[in-house]
Amino acid sequence: MTHPPARRRAARLRTIQRRIAQLQYICSGTVSHQARQCGKPTCACAADPAAWHGPYYVWSRREEHRQVNTMLPQELGRFFEQAVENYRKLRDLLRVWERASAEALLAMTGTNSIRRPHLASERKTRSPRKRRRR
């Protein structure tokens, strides 16, 4: 027989897992809107910034330690915005899941706290830093 707190923890984990499973597409990075000049000297956008073309969607992200920007078609921009939002939700849910898992596992051992108190003997003493002369 499981105890009521254990049932609550299990229900919380199931809720988190269900919310993660509902997320469809995920993409890291950001999606921004940009307006651009076409470059034709006779176009209205050459003289008036309010007449620039767009808005265009640009998906920016990091790949292999480099910034990558991708122009997106108008019809895909909203999907990428939702995918970026889903990625942020996923990261948040994973943090909550990790915390809830640790609490559940610690409860099984009879430990109530996730934070482990530091003992005085475990503390590292630091020597004061010397200032560099400029």
Dump pLDDT digits (tens) for 32-82: 998 888 889 899 988 888 888 888 899 999 999 999 999 999 899 999 999
75: helix, strand or coil: helix
- pTM listed for this prediction: 0.69
Torsion of CA 102, 104, 105, 106, to 10 degrees: 80
Q: Where in the chain are the domains?
A: 4-109
Cα–Cα distance measured from residue 25 to residue 107, given in angstroms and rounded to the nearest whole number: 34
